[in-house]
């Protein structure tokens, strides 16, 4: 019975902690919706902010290509330029 009470308390604490976390929205700029629609299904949208200090346009092109070719992301080829443009302008080195 005591184990059940402890487990319940841990679940409440974990639930409260995750409820307190809110995702950081992407920068509002042209192409944001493309990134949200094509990238959020596979990973957190915190990824661009985490990698922003390291990637220029060529880096973002390589990252998007990696997501498609290595990880099988179902991103239509016609969406790639808009995604790369958004990531470069909003999160690229010097962006």
Cα dihedral sign, 59-72-82-76: positive
Q: Look at residue 11 in the predicted model and tell me its pLDDT.
A: 61
Q: Is there a domain that residue 32 lies in?
A: yes
Q: Look at residue 51 in the predicted model and tell me its pLDDT.
A: 75
Q: Is there a domain that residue 11 lies in?
A: no
What residues make up the domain containing 56?
A: 24-91
Catalogue the long-range contacts made by 6-15 (C-beta closer than 8 Å, 24 or more residues apart).
Answer: none
> What tens-digit pLDDT sequence spans the chain (95 residues)?
565 556 555 565 555 445 555 667 899 999 999 999 999 998 889 888 887 778 999 999 999 999 999 999 999 999 999 999 999 999 988 65
Q: Is there a domain that residue 1 lies in?
A: no
Can you give the CATH number for the domain in which 43 is found?
Answer: 1.10.760.10
What six digits make up the tokens of 87? 């990531």
Q: Is there a domain that residue 82 lies in?
A: yes
d(CA 37, CA 80): 12
Q: Is there a domain that residue 17 lies in?
A: no
Q: Is there a domain that residue 33 lies in?
A: yes
Domain count, the chain: 1
The answer to whether the beta carbons of residues 25 and 64 sit under 8 Å apart is no
What six digits make up the tokens of 73? 């992301």
- Closest listed residue to residue 91, CA positions, set 36, 47, 44, 37: 47
Q: Is there a domain that residue 7 lies in?
A: no
Q: Is there a domain that residue 66 lies in?
A: yes
């Amino acid at each position: 019975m005591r184990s059940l009470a402890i487990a319940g308390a841990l679940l409440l604490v974990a639930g409260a902690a995750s409820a307190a976390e809110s995702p950081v929205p992407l920068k509002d700029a042209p192409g944001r919706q493309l990134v949200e629609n094509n990238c959020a299904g596979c990973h957190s949208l915190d990824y661009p902010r985490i990698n922003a200090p390291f990637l220029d346009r060529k880096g973002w092109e390589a990252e998007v290509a990696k997501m498609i070719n290595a990880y099988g992301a179902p991103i239509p080829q016609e969406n790639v330029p808009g995604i790369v443009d958004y990531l470069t302008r909003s999160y690229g080195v010097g962006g």
